[in-house]
Amino acid sequence: MATLRIENLHVTVEGKEILKGINLIVQKGETVALLGPNGHGKSTLFYAIMGHPRYLITEGKIFYDDVDITEYSTDQRAKFGLFLALQNPSEVPGVINSDFLRAAVNVRKEKPISTYNFYKLLDTATKEVHMPFDLATRSLNEGFSGGEKKRNEILQMMLLEPDIAMLDEIDSGLDVDAIQVVADIIKKEQAKGMGFLVISHYARLFDLIQPTKAIVMINGKIVLEGDKELIKRIDTKGYEFIKTELGIDIEKEDVNMNEVSIGSCAVKEIVK
Protein backbone atom coordinates (compact mmCIF):
# COMPACT_ATOMS: atom_id res chain seq x y z
CA MET A 1 0.00 0.00 0.00
CA ALA A 2 1.50 3.29 -1.13
CA THR A 3 1.89 5.70 1.74
CA LEU A 4 3.21 9.23 1.71
CA ARG A 5 4.52 10.22 5.12
CA ILE A 6 5.77 13.67 6.02
CA GLU A 7 7.66 14.23 9.24
CA ASN A 8 8.33 17.61 10.81
CA LEU A 9 8.83 19.31 7.45
CA HIS A 10 10.33 22.78 7.41
CA VAL A 11 10.59 24.54 4.06
CA THR A 12 12.21 27.82 3.14
CA VAL A 13 11.52 29.76 -0.04
CA GLU A 14 13.98 32.48 -0.96
CA GLY A 15 15.18 32.78 2.62
CA LYS A 16 11.75 32.91 4.20
CA GLU A 17 10.45 29.98 6.22
CA ILE A 18 7.01 29.00 4.94
CA LEU A 19 6.45 25.54 6.40
CA LYS A 20 7.17 25.21 10.10
CA GLY A 21 6.92 21.56 10.96
CA ILE A 22 4.33 19.63 8.97
CA ASN A 23 3.36 16.09 9.91
CA LEU A 24 1.05 14.30 7.53
CA ILE A 25 0.22 10.82 6.28
CA VAL A 26 -1.66 10.14 3.05
CA GLN A 27 -2.41 6.60 1.99
CA LYS A 28 -3.47 5.20 -1.30
CA GLY A 29 -7.26 5.16 -1.39
CA GLU A 30 -7.61 8.17 0.89
CA THR A 31 -8.75 11.62 -0.14
CA VAL A 32 -7.41 14.38 2.04
CA ALA A 33 -8.80 17.90 1.75
CA LEU A 34 -6.24 20.59 2.46
CA LEU A 35 -7.71 23.91 3.52
CA GLY A 36 -6.37 27.18 4.79
CA PRO A 37 -6.25 30.88 3.99
CA ASN A 38 -4.17 32.16 1.05
CA GLY A 39 -0.45 32.36 1.58
CA HIS A 40 -0.20 29.92 4.48
CA GLY A 41 1.86 27.24 2.74
CA LYS A 42 -0.52 24.82 1.06
CA SER A 43 1.01 25.06 -2.40
CA THR A 44 4.48 25.20 -0.86
CA LEU A 45 3.81 21.82 0.72
CA PHE A 46 2.94 20.36 -2.68
CA TYR A 47 6.00 21.82 -4.36
CA ALA A 48 8.24 20.58 -1.55
CA ILE A 49 6.77 17.08 -1.80
CA MET A 50 7.42 17.11 -5.55
CA GLY A 51 10.97 18.44 -5.08
CA HIS A 52 10.92 21.84 -6.76
CA PRO A 53 14.48 23.21 -6.61
CA ARG A 54 13.37 26.59 -5.26
CA TYR A 55 11.67 25.06 -2.21
CA LEU A 56 14.41 24.26 0.26
CA ILE A 57 13.80 21.61 2.90
CA THR A 58 15.71 22.75 5.98
CA GLU A 59 14.44 20.15 8.43
CA GLY A 60 12.31 17.04 8.44
CA LYS A 61 11.79 14.21 5.99
CA ILE A 62 9.45 12.89 3.31
CA PHE A 63 8.91 9.14 3.11
CA TYR A 64 7.26 7.16 0.40
CA ASP A 65 6.57 3.59 1.48
CA ASP A 66 9.23 4.00 4.16
CA VAL A 67 11.81 5.08 1.57
CA ASP A 68 13.30 8.45 2.47
CA ILE A 69 12.74 10.51 -0.70
CA THR A 70 13.72 13.88 0.79
CA GLU A 71 16.85 14.06 -1.38
CA TYR A 72 15.33 12.46 -4.48
CA SER A 73 15.02 14.32 -7.77
CA THR A 74 11.63 15.42 -9.07
CA ASP A 75 11.48 12.77 -11.79
CA GLN A 76 12.37 10.00 -9.32
CA ARG A 77 9.46 11.08 -7.09
CA ALA A 78 7.16 11.00 -10.11
CA LYS A 79 8.36 7.50 -10.95
CA PHE A 80 7.50 6.39 -7.42
CA GLY A 81 3.91 7.35 -8.13
CA LEU A 82 3.53 10.96 -7.02
CA PHE A 83 1.75 13.48 -9.21
CA LEU A 84 1.17 17.21 -8.89
CA ALA A 85 -1.49 19.05 -10.86
CA LEU A 86 -0.26 22.61 -10.83
CA GLN A 87 -2.37 25.62 -10.04
CA ASN A 88 -0.81 27.54 -12.91
CA PRO A 89 0.73 25.07 -15.36
CA SER A 90 3.58 26.54 -17.45
CA GLU A 91 3.23 27.18 -21.14
CA VAL A 92 6.09 25.44 -22.90
CA PRO A 93 6.34 26.66 -26.49
CA GLY A 94 7.55 24.20 -29.11
CA VAL A 95 6.95 21.11 -26.98
CA ILE A 96 4.04 19.24 -28.52
CA ASN A 97 1.53 18.13 -25.92
CA SER A 98 1.20 14.60 -27.27
CA ASP A 99 5.00 14.12 -27.58
CA PHE A 100 5.33 15.15 -23.95
CA LEU A 101 2.45 12.94 -22.81
CA ARG A 102 3.86 9.98 -24.66
CA ALA A 103 7.32 10.43 -23.17
CA ALA A 104 5.72 10.71 -19.73
CA VAL A 105 3.55 7.62 -20.20
CA ASN A 106 6.60 5.62 -21.29
CA VAL A 107 8.54 6.52 -18.16
CA ARG A 108 6.62 4.08 -15.97
CA LYS A 109 6.38 1.40 -18.63
CA GLU A 110 8.96 -1.30 -19.25
CA LYS A 111 8.26 -1.41 -22.96
CA PRO A 112 7.38 1.81 -24.79
CA ILE A 113 3.75 2.10 -25.72
CA SER A 114 2.97 1.65 -29.44
CA THR A 115 1.82 4.66 -31.44
CA TYR A 116 -1.56 3.08 -32.06
CA ASN A 117 -2.19 2.22 -28.42
CA PHE A 118 -1.05 5.64 -27.32
CA TYR A 119 -3.42 7.45 -29.63
CA LYS A 120 -6.26 5.19 -28.59
CA LEU A 121 -5.49 5.95 -24.95
CA LEU A 122 -5.21 9.66 -25.68
CA ASP A 123 -8.41 9.70 -27.66
CA THR A 124 -10.40 8.06 -24.85
CA ALA A 125 -8.86 10.31 -22.22
CA THR A 126 -9.44 13.56 -24.13
CA LYS A 127 -13.08 12.58 -24.60
CA GLU A 128 -13.44 11.87 -20.92
CA VAL A 129 -12.09 15.29 -19.90
CA HIS A 130 -14.14 16.93 -22.67
CA MET A 131 -11.04 18.36 -24.27
CA PRO A 132 -10.85 18.84 -28.03
CA PHE A 133 -8.36 16.35 -29.47
CA ASP A 134 -6.48 19.05 -31.35
CA LEU A 135 -5.31 20.55 -28.05
CA ALA A 136 -3.27 17.39 -27.61
CA THR A 137 -1.39 18.09 -30.81
CA ARG A 138 -0.58 21.70 -30.01
CA SER A 139 2.30 23.21 -28.04
CA LEU A 140 2.06 22.30 -24.35
CA ASN A 141 -0.46 24.68 -22.73
CA GLU A 142 0.47 27.46 -25.13
CA GLY A 143 -2.53 29.63 -25.76
CA PHE A 144 -4.76 27.32 -23.67
CA SER A 145 -7.48 28.98 -21.65
CA GLY A 146 -7.42 28.60 -17.86
CA GLY A 147 -9.98 25.82 -18.03
CA GLU A 148 -8.15 24.01 -20.81
CA LYS A 149 -4.93 24.04 -18.80
CA LYS A 150 -6.74 22.46 -15.85
CA ARG A 151 -8.28 19.79 -18.07
CA ASN A 152 -4.83 19.09 -19.47
CA GLU A 153 -3.54 18.51 -15.93
CA ILE A 154 -6.34 16.03 -15.26
CA LEU A 155 -5.65 14.37 -18.61
CA GLN A 156 -2.03 13.86 -17.57
CA MET A 157 -3.16 12.39 -14.27
CA MET A 158 -5.39 9.90 -16.07
CA LEU A 159 -2.63 8.84 -18.44
CA LEU A 160 0.08 8.55 -15.80
CA GLU A 161 -2.05 6.77 -13.18
CA PRO A 162 -0.10 7.85 -10.10
CA ASP A 163 -0.64 6.28 -6.66
CA ILE A 164 -1.09 9.63 -4.97
CA ALA A 165 -2.17 12.74 -6.84
CA MET A 166 -1.88 16.25 -5.43
CA LEU A 167 -4.36 18.67 -6.96
CA ASP A 168 -3.66 22.34 -6.39
CA GLU A 169 -6.87 24.34 -6.86
CA ILE A 170 -7.89 22.18 -9.76
CA ASP A 171 -11.36 23.74 -9.66
CA SER A 172 -10.30 27.35 -10.03
CA GLY A 173 -11.00 28.64 -13.50
CA LEU A 174 -13.43 25.82 -14.26
CA ASP A 175 -17.11 26.37 -14.95
CA VAL A 176 -19.78 24.38 -13.12
CA ASP A 177 -20.04 21.70 -15.81
CA ALA A 178 -16.27 21.31 -16.01
CA ILE A 179 -16.04 20.89 -12.22
CA GLN A 180 -18.55 18.07 -12.54
CA VAL A 181 -16.44 16.45 -15.28
CA VAL A 182 -13.27 16.69 -13.20
CA ALA A 183 -15.07 15.41 -10.09
CA ASP A 184 -16.40 12.41 -12.03
CA ILE A 185 -12.88 11.53 -13.11
CA ILE A 186 -11.59 11.88 -9.54
CA LYS A 187 -14.38 9.63 -8.28
CA LYS A 188 -13.52 7.03 -10.88
CA GLU A 189 -9.86 7.10 -9.87
CA GLN A 190 -10.84 6.96 -6.19
CA ALA A 191 -12.75 3.78 -6.92
CA LYS A 192 -9.62 2.36 -8.55
CA GLY A 193 -7.68 3.17 -5.39
CA MET A 194 -5.82 6.38 -6.24
CA GLY A 195 -5.00 8.57 -3.24
CA PHE A 196 -5.63 12.30 -3.31
CA LEU A 197 -4.41 15.38 -1.56
CA VAL A 198 -6.62 18.24 -2.69
CA ILE A 199 -6.36 21.99 -2.19
CA SER A 200 -9.51 23.95 -2.85
CA HIS A 201 -11.24 27.01 -1.49
CA TYR A 202 -14.71 25.84 -2.42
CA ALA A 203 -16.96 23.29 -0.77
CA ARG A 204 -18.53 22.46 -4.13
CA LEU A 205 -15.64 20.25 -5.24
CA PHE A 206 -15.38 18.60 -1.82
CA ASP A 207 -19.13 17.89 -1.83
CA LEU A 208 -18.63 16.02 -5.08
CA ILE A 209 -15.52 14.02 -4.23
CA GLN A 210 -16.26 13.29 -0.54
CA PRO A 211 -12.87 13.58 1.20
CA THR A 212 -12.06 11.03 3.89
CA LYS A 213 -10.25 13.64 5.95
CA ALA A 214 -9.90 17.40 6.10
CA ILE A 215 -6.93 19.32 7.45
CA VAL A 216 -6.43 23.02 7.95
CA MET A 217 -3.09 24.71 7.48
CA ILE A 218 -2.36 28.03 9.13
CA ASN A 219 0.95 29.86 9.53
CA GLY A 220 2.80 26.95 7.95
CA LYS A 221 1.46 24.38 10.40
CA ILE A 222 -1.42 21.95 10.45
CA VAL A 223 -3.69 23.25 13.19
CA LEU A 224 -6.87 21.28 12.81
CA GLU A 225 -8.02 17.93 11.54
CA GLY A 226 -11.56 16.89 10.92
CA ASP A 227 -14.05 15.54 8.45
CA LYS A 228 -16.75 16.83 6.15
CA GLU A 229 -18.26 18.85 8.98
CA LEU A 230 -15.08 20.90 9.23
CA ILE A 231 -15.19 21.74 5.52
CA LYS A 232 -18.81 22.80 5.86
CA ARG A 233 -18.03 24.95 8.85
CA ILE A 234 -15.19 26.73 7.08
CA ASP A 235 -17.31 27.18 3.98
CA THR A 236 -20.05 28.94 5.90
CA LYS A 237 -18.11 30.73 8.63
CA GLY A 238 -14.57 31.28 7.29
CA TYR A 239 -11.40 30.87 9.28
CA GLU A 240 -12.09 33.37 12.05
CA PHE A 241 -13.40 30.73 14.48
CA ILE A 242 -9.94 29.17 14.59
CA LYS A 243 -8.64 32.38 16.04
CA THR A 244 -11.23 32.52 18.77
CA GLU A 245 -11.46 28.81 19.58
CA LEU A 246 -7.83 27.77 19.27
CA GLY A 247 -6.26 31.10 20.06
CA ILE A 248 -4.14 31.06 16.92
CA ASP A 249 -3.36 34.37 15.36
CA ILE A 250 -3.75 34.12 11.60
CA GLU A 251 -0.84 35.93 9.97
CA LYS A 252 -1.83 38.17 7.12
CA GLU A 253 0.11 38.02 3.89
CA ASP A 254 2.86 40.60 3.91
CA VAL A 255 2.30 43.12 1.25
CA ASN A 256 5.50 44.95 0.61
CA MET A 257 4.55 48.39 -0.50
CA ASN A 258 7.11 50.31 -2.43
CA GLU A 259 8.45 53.14 -0.44
CA VAL A 260 7.11 56.18 -2.13
CA SER A 261 7.95 59.67 -1.24
CA ILE A 262 6.56 62.68 -2.90
CA GLY A 263 9.24 65.26 -3.13
CA SER A 264 8.89 68.91 -3.73
CA CYS A 265 7.70 70.26 -7.03
CA ALA A 266 9.64 69.52 -10.18
CA VAL A 267 11.99 67.12 -8.45
CA LYS A 268 12.22 64.04 -10.50
CA GLU A 269 13.61 61.20 -8.38
CA ILE A 270 12.70 59.63 -5.08
CA VAL A 271 10.45 56.75 -6.08
CA LYS A 272 12.45 53.84 -4.71
Partner 1 sequence: MCKRIELKTLLINNKDSGNYYVLDGNDYFNDEEIELDIDSIDSGYLLISNIQDEKIINLNINNSHITVSLFFEKTLKQFKFNANLRQNSFLNVYAAEFSYGKVSFDSNINLLDEKCSTDWHLASLSSNDDNKNICVSINHLSPRTTATVNNYGVCKDFSKLVFSGDSLIKKGSTGSKTVQNAKTLVFDSHSDAICKPILKIDENDIEASHAAIVGRVNEEHMFYLTSRGLNVNQARTLITFGYLKPILKGFLDEDIKKSISNLIETRL
Task: Report the run of H or E that residue 221 belongs to, with start and end.
Answer: strand 221-226
Nearest distance, CB of residue 103 and partner 1, angstroms = 6
Instruction: Rule CB under 8 A: say whether 74 interacts with partner 1.
Output: yes
Instruction: Rule CB under 8 A: say whether 79 interacts with partner 1.
Output: yes
How far apart CA 267 and CA 226 sit, in angstroms, is: 59
* DSSP secondary structure letters along 145-205: -HHHHHHHHHHHHHHH--SEEEEESTTTT--HHHHHHHHHHHHHHHHHT-EEEEE-S-HHH
For partner 1, which stretch binds (CB under 8 A), given 79-87, 184-192, 194-202, 262-270? 79-87
Nearest distance, CB of residue 252 and partner 1, angstroms = 27
Whether residue 2 contacts residue 27, with contact meaning beta carbons closer than 8 Å, is answered with yes
C-beta of 160 vs 181, nearer to partner 1: 160
For partner 1, which stretch binds (CB under 8 A), given 3-11, 101-109, 118-126, 263-271? 101-109
Binding mask 206-245 for partner 1 (x = CB under 8 A): ----------------------------------------
Nearest distance, CB of residue 84 and partner 1, angstroms = 5
Instruction: Rule CB under 8 A: say whether 57 interacts with partner 1.
Output: no
Instruction: Rule CB under 8 A: say whether 99 interacts with partner 1.
Output: yes
C-beta of 77 vs 151, nearer to partner 1: 77
- Alpha carbon of residue 34 to chain centroid: 10
**SS3 assignment, position 95:** strand
CA distances from 61 to 11, 148, 166 (A): 11, 35, 18
Instruction: Rule CB under 8 A: say whether 73 interacts with partner 1.
Output: yes
How far apart CA 18 and CA 84 sit, in angstroms, is: 19
Nearest distance, CB of residue 95 and partner 1, angstroms = 4
Q: How many residues does the chain have?
A: 272
For partner 1, the binding residues (CB under 8 A) are: 50, 52-54, 73-75, 77-79, 83-84, 86, 89-90, 92-96, 99-100, 103-104, 107-108, 139, 156, 160
